[in-house]
Structure formats: C-alpha cells, structure tokens
Amino acid sequence: MNSVIVFSQDIFPDLKKIEVDKSIFVHFKPSECIVLNEIVPNEAQIKEVNVLVTRLIPEIKDSFLIRYYEGPSVDPCFLIYRYDKDTTKLLHYAIDGLSLFIPGDGFLYFSGHSNKMYDTRRKFKVLKDTLFEVIQPLYYVGINSKALADISIFSDTDMLNQVAIVPKGSSVFVVANRSEYYLIKTHFGLLGWTFIPNGSQHTNLEGIYFAGD
C-alpha cells in the first residue's frame, strides 16, 4: 500500500505523520513505532488499515496496534489494540477523528470533524486494558461563525436568564461546548449559552453541523 510520510510541524513538532487515507493522518514518534500501513481485508469491503505498532511511553515495552476504520457510513475513526506478538486485544472501539497524535507521553490525542458537530479535540490514556478519555470541563470549539437565524443566548445551561438575542446574520465566535450547549461570544463581547441538539443536520450557527449518518 502506498503511503505518504511527512513531518508534523504544527502541534507536536517532533512527530512525523503518515497519510492513511485522504485527509486522514496519524502523527507518531518514529523511534517508538513500526509503520505497517496494511489494508485489512473484510467482507463488507469497508476500508480498514493497520497503520502502525507503537509504544505509548518509551520506557514501557507494552505495544499497541493503531487501526484506521472507515465505518459503514464513512465516519472515520480509530481502533486501539494492545499488541503482543501475534495476538491483539481491543481496548477501545471507534474513536472518531481525522487525526491521531501519539507523542510518547502516555496519551493519545484525537482531532477532526468526524461523526461530531464540530472538530472535537480529545485526549485518552491507557489504564490496564481500557482506554479512558481525560475529562475536560468543556470542549473547545473555536469557530468564527454567523447566526443563521435570531439566536437567544443565556447565562447558564438552565436557559432561564437571557443575556441577549443575536440577530440573524451577526458574526459570533463559538467558544466551547458542553453536551448540547454551546458558549457563544457576540461581536460586542457578551458571552452566553445556546442549545443545539446533537445530530442536527442543520443548525442556526454556521460551521456547527453533524458530520455523520
């Protein structure tokens, strides 16, 4: 299988990256990895690739297999296996994302707008034979957006105390997300929460939409 390996100079400058599929990347530390980039055959003819075998921490010999899986609805994701010679054990199924970063600090970092409402940045750690997400108080969104309809924003997620009504066509900045609530900064600089149901195909905010089924 052909592959493209180039340096990753944006977030983790000491990593290289391999292009697994169009716009799908795994960023890794070459000294701790064996690059495979091998197609995994399956009856459904869904793209599945064993990308590489890697250590998560240099001083610990445990190895992990990183597999890219396109999914039946073309929702890019990664599967993480504990790897021991010819045996594998699945630690976590289908972590959505377009990019995976493996900096060698014991954590895995995922990003990309896949099966989510926006580009969701997440961090995971292996504990025994399970992969746990490192919980954040909010997910950062960071999108310059525009109100596609009049939007009410509120002081908290109870949605009781209105801060302002953002007129249709106004520029806004989507700061962060918690569950189905989004923290919005108005052009004036006011902050407030608005509600967008998960799975909405069309929303009142430009750039916030469901990328999935």
pTM of the model: 0.91
- In contact, 177 and 138? CB cutoff 8 Å: yes
Residues 91-129 as b/e (b if ≥16 CB within 10 A, e otherwise) read bbeebbbbbbbbbbeeebbbbbbbbbbbbbbbebebeee
pLDDT digit string, tens, across residues 159-169: 999 999 999 99
pLDDT of residue 6: 58
pLDDT digit string, tens, across residues 138-187: 999 999 999 999 999 999 999 999 999 999 999 999 999 999 999 999 99
> Domain residue spans in the chain?
4-133, 139-195
pLDDT digit string, tens, across residues 7-56: 565 778 889 999 999 899 999 999 999 999 999 988 888 999 999 999 98
* End-to-end CA separation in angstroms for the chain: 28
CATH code of 139-195, in short, is 2.30.30.40
Q: For 65, what's the count of Cα atoms within 13 Å in the CB-facing half-sphere?
A: 23
pLDDT digit string, tens, across residues 58-114: 888 899 999 999 988 889 999 999 998 778 899 877 899 999 999 999 999 999 999
Burial class (CB within 10 angstroms; exposed 0-12, middle 13-18, buried 19+) of 78: buried
